[in-house]
Amino acid sequence: MAAEIGQFSLITSFLIAIVQATLPLYGAATNNARLMALARSAAIAQCLMVALAFVAITYCFVSSDFSVGIVAANSHSDKPLMYKIAGVWGNHEGSMLLWVLILALFGLAVALFGTNLPSALAARVLAIQGMIGTGFLAFIIFTSNPFMRLHPAPVDGNGLNPLLQDPGLASHPPFLYLGYVGFSMAFSFAVAALIEGKVDPAWARWVRPWTLLAWCFLTMGIMLGSLWAYYELGWGGWWFWDPVENASLMPWLAGTALVHSAIVVEKRDALKRWTILLAILTFSLSLVGTFLVRSGVITSVHSFATDPTRGVFILGLLIATTGGALTLYAIRAPSLKLGNLFSPVSRETSLILNNVFLVSLAGAVFVGTFYPLFVSAVSSDQISVGAPVYNFFFPPMMLVLMIIMGVGPFLSWKRGRIEDAWMQLRICAAIAAATGFTVLWLSWGRGSFAVPALAISAWLALSSLLVLARQLDVASGSPAKIAARAVGLPRATYGFVIAHIGIALVAAGIAGVSAWTTETVTKLNVGASTSVGSYDVKLVSVGKSNGPNFEALVATFDVTRHGQSVDTMIAEKRYYPFPGSETTEAAIRVRPLDVLYLTVGDQDMAGAWTVRMYAHPMVTWIWFGCLVMVVGGTISLTDRRLRVGAPRRARPVTPPLVPQAV
């Protein structure tokens, strides 16, 4: 029953989406208020119907209705409730439904909170959202129907891949999709602006919070995926330059650029054409990501369904969306006025350089991801593009960008002076250089490539803090005055300072763990010890235990450091009878400066166990830094001027200098 209700809701939502995509657009063109108003009701109705379909499939999973194909293929009656629910998006059909649900939720958000948008703009934005919805609902209904029944129904399900039975991974796809799909807002606003032929600071004020929100979700999603890979895959890797990871990194890079270029549109009414183009590119890259994961066109450790029809369908959607938007751009962009002028040394230029670097990085990652496909298409050669290629260009370009990030906030809008910035920043440069020399001295001969990375991270963190110190004028005034200034400072300022410090932490963490990881792979008998990094590790015992839906081999280790006992750690190897596979549960001891990571493998004929041990310095900084970025983004979102859907409240009481949007 639930499956039929779901199927019905899905088809209804598809029909509503078609209405939402067409009539309001016609209404906006003919200035018909009733047709424009239809967009809101359609968005709400579409969201309700998609939500109902999603609830229906979730109910099928929770109630273990194995007559539904994807439930039988991906769930099992023994599975804990949480993973029955997470199983909904642990497969192709369900995850596409989640994708569309999130799209509909963003549409709902515009319908509910965007009441102060000019009605033509709201109608157009929602119509574009409706078009994307129509495309993806058609994709689900015609190629990936989650409600397909099996006959006869199996007695029990196949179970979910145990690797995916993990809280980190259960929440990874929703966050990632909130990010990917969130960029559709920027896209819809960009296309609506092209139709209207008008981009102004008010437009940027509407777009920026949505983009920032999507960016926060995407950052969080990528971070969760990386964290999960680290603790679950059993060898301490946190980024593999896998095509599907690249698929999430590309929209992140473009989205980060977009968040920054929108600032220039908002504050300076410049860079409008570029920002529109970037909004289109960012969402297109999100679609490329969806295409990569869903089509299986590129081999990746993440491959899900590899069904050519699906790949072709998504490719079609991608071409229609991107191609359509770019064509519109080519026609309309020249009519957008060139914005305000600025000199080559200015805050604007630093933000443009940020865009140049981020987009170049996204472009280079794109080229790397698709290059093997390209080469095999144009020649008989087959090549691989792996981590060494990305490591060749990504870190150096990122470091140069981080230097610019430190300088940018110290340049004035319109016309800055590099000498003024230098006068303020030289103290940061000095401390950063001192950091570099200290690191060089402490790590002499080992991983000296971390030296510039740590020095530049220090530079970025310090210069960001200096922005705060300057704004609060810490050097003068009583603590009470400083506190008063601190309260008055815009949240957006705190947000960007915190987010930039987050980047510095991520970069430092990556440098540290790449340069100074130590690893021991050996065989240990029970009672024997070995060492890794500054730790001595003794294998105390190996036993067996049973979990709710798995059997586990449990190895206990005693860890000492400089002769002092520091911890007892337990590593597991689990066997899941359904669907019959193994996972490694590493023993992980987390400290701010390093992580000790132990795993147990097989036993040999002589009774010795294979153990893998890693000491990973600073690795936690990577994920902590991502969290700091998300916190920064969130604080920025609470800024009055940026509040999602409520930008009008932020208008100054005095007549504004900025021309009012219609």
Partner 1 sequence: MRKIAIAFITLVAFFPGISRAVEPEEMLGDPALEARAREITRELRCVVCQNQSIDDSNADLARDMRVLVRERLKKGDTNEQTLAYLVARYGNYVLLKPPLQLDTALLWFSPILFLGLGVLLLRGYFRTMRTAPASQTPLSQSEQDALEHIAEEG
Q: Give the C-alpha separation, 327 to 320, whole Å.
A: 10
Query: Should residue 338 be labelled a site residue for partner 1 when binding is judged by CB under 8 A?
Result: yes
Structure token digits, residue 60: 């099928």
Query: Should residue 341 be labelled a site residue for partner 1 when binding is judged by CB under 8 A?
Result: yes
Q: How far, in Å, are 268, 317, 447, 639 from residue 659 at the CA level?
A: 12, 37, 55, 21
Query: Should residue 413 be labelled a site residue for partner 1 when binding is judged by CB under 8 A?
Result: no
Among 22, 67, 171, 360, binds partner 1 (CB under 8 A): 360
Residue 572 sits at φ, ψ, to 5 deg, of -125, 155
Q: Give the C-alpha separation, 114 to 106, whole Å.
A: 11
| Binding track over 242-271 against partner 1, x by CB under 8 A | xx----------------------------
Structure token digits, residue 289: 């990501």
Query: Should residue 337 be labelled a site residue for partner 1 when binding is judged by CB under 8 A?
Result: yes
Query: Should residue 610 be labelled a site residue for partner 1 when binding is judged by CB under 8 A?
Result: yes
Shortest distance (Å) from residue 36 CB to partner 1: 25
| Binding track over 517-536 against partner 1, x by CB under 8 A | ----xxx-------------
Contact 500, 460 (CB under 8 A): yes
Q: Among 63-71, 191-199, 355-363, 620-628, which window interacts with partner 1 (CB under 8 A)?
A: 355-363
Query: Should residue 606 be labelled a site residue for partner 1 when binding is judged by CB under 8 A?
Result: no
Q: What string of H, E and C letters represents the secondary structure of 442-481?
A: HCCCCCCCHHHHHHHHHHHHHHHHHHHHHHHCCCCCCHHH
Order of strands across the sheet with 529-532?
A: 529-532, 535-546, 551-561, 564-576, 581-585
Q: How far, in Å, are 22, 337, 465, 471, 602 from residue 29 at the CA level?
A: 11, 22, 49, 46, 69
Beta bridge partners of 521: 612
Contact 598, 586 (CB under 8 A): yes
Shortest distance (Å) from residue 233 CB to partner 1: 5
Query: Should residue 603 be labelled a site residue for partner 1 when binding is judged by CB under 8 A?
Result: no
Q: Among 67-75, 313-321, 344-352, 424-432, which window interacts with partner 1 (CB under 8 A)?
A: 344-352
Among 30, 384, 478, 546, binds partner 1 (CB under 8 A): 384
Number of residues that bind partner 1 (CB under 8 A): 69
Residue 13 or 349 with smaller CB distance to partner 1: 349
Residue 65 or 348 with smaller CB distance to partner 1: 348
Residue 480 or 653 with smaller CB distance to partner 1: 653
Shortest distance (Å) from residue 318 CB to partner 1: 21
Residue 114 or 234 with smaller CB distance to partner 1: 234
Among 356, 429, 627, 646, binds partner 1 (CB under 8 A): 356
Query: Should residue 352 be labelled a site residue for partner 1 when binding is judged by CB under 8 A?
Result: yes
Contact 130, 173 (CB under 8 A): no
CA atoms lying within 13 Å on the CB side of residue 110: 35
Residue 147 or 366 with smaller CB distance to partner 1: 366
Angle between helices 418-442 and 450-472 (to 10 degrees): 140
Residue 380 or 546 with smaller CB distance to partner 1: 380
Q: Residues near 269 by Cβ (< 8 Å), separated by ≥ 6? A: 200, 201, 339, 340, 658
Shortest distance (Å) from residue 563 CB to partner 1: 24
Query: Should residue 397 be labelled a site residue for partner 1 when binding is judged by CB under 8 A?
Result: yes
Among 386, 543, 547, 577, binds partner 1 (CB under 8 A): 386
Which of these, 90, 49, 100, lies nearest to 70 by C-alpha position? 90
Q: Give the C-alpha separation, 400 to 356, whole Å.
A: 12
Query: Should residue 659 be labelled a site residue for partner 1 when binding is judged by CB under 8 A?
Result: yes
Residue 93 or 242 with smaller CB distance to partner 1: 242
Shortest distance (Å) from residue 271 CB to partner 1: 9
Query: Should residue 582 be labelled a site residue for partner 1 when binding is judged by CB under 8 A?
Result: yes
Query: Should residue 634 be labelled a site residue for partner 1 when binding is judged by CB under 8 A?
Result: no
Residue 135 or 372 with smaller CB distance to partner 1: 372
Query: Should residue 200 be labelled a site residue for partner 1 when binding is judged by CB under 8 A?
Result: no
Which of these, 575, 570, 583, lies nearest to 546 by C-alpha position? 575
Which of these, 352, 255, 346, 650, lies nearest to 490 by C-alpha position? 650
Residue 4 or 602 with smaller CB distance to partner 1: 602
Which of these, 225, 444, 198, lies nearest to 339 by C-alpha position? 198
Question: Which residue blocks in 161-200 are alpha helix, DSSP H?
Answer: 167-196
Q: Among 319-327, 380-388, 430-438, 535-543, which window interacts with partner 1 (CB under 8 A)?
A: 380-388
Query: Should residue 560 be labelled a site residue for partner 1 when binding is judged by CB under 8 A?
Result: no
Shortest distance (Å) from residue 481 CB to partner 1: 24
Identify the H or E element spanning 70: helix 69-74
Residue 236 sits at φ, ψ, to 5 deg, of 75, 20
Q: What is the DSSP string of 217-277?
A: HHHHHHHHHHHHHHHHSSS-------HHHHHHHHHHHHHHHHHHHHHHHHHHS--HHHHHH
DSSP 3-state assignment of 302? coil
DSSP 3-state assignment of 596? strand
Residues 286-305 that bind partner 1 (CB under 8 A): 299-301, 303
Query: Should residue 412 be labelled a site residue for partner 1 when binding is judged by CB under 8 A?
Result: no
Query: Should residue 557 be labelled a site residue for partner 1 when binding is judged by CB under 8 A?
Result: no
| Binding track over 450-489 against partner 1, x by CB under 8 A | ----------------------------------------
Query: Should residue 512 be labelled a site residue for partner 1 when binding is judged by CB under 8 A?
Result: no
Q: Give the C-alpha separation, 421 to 425, whole Å.
A: 6
Token pair 């170049």 is found at 360
Structure token digits, residue 547: 């979990």
Among 152, 334, 344, 445, binds partner 1 (CB under 8 A): 344
| Binding track over 37-66 against partner 1, x by CB under 8 A | ------------------------------
Query: Should residue 359 be labelled a site residue for partner 1 when binding is judged by CB under 8 A?
Result: yes
Structure token digits, residue 262: 């929108």
Among 583, 616, 620, 641, binds partner 1 (CB under 8 A): 583
Residues 208-247 that bind partner 1 (CB under 8 A): 232-235, 237, 240-243
| DSSP symbol at 556 | E
Q: Give the C-alpha separation, 557 to 612, whole Å.
A: 12
Among 151, 155, 381, 475, binds partner 1 (CB under 8 A): 381
Which residue type occupies 460? Answer: L
| DSSP symbol at 513 | H
Residues that bind partner 1 (CB under 8 A): 161, 163, 232-235, 237, 240-243, 299-301, 303, 306, 337-338, 340-342, 344, 349, 352-353, 355-357, 359-361, 363-364, 367-368, 371, 375, 378-379, 381-389, 392-393, 397, 521-523, 581-584, 601-602, 604, 610, 612, 654-657, 659-660
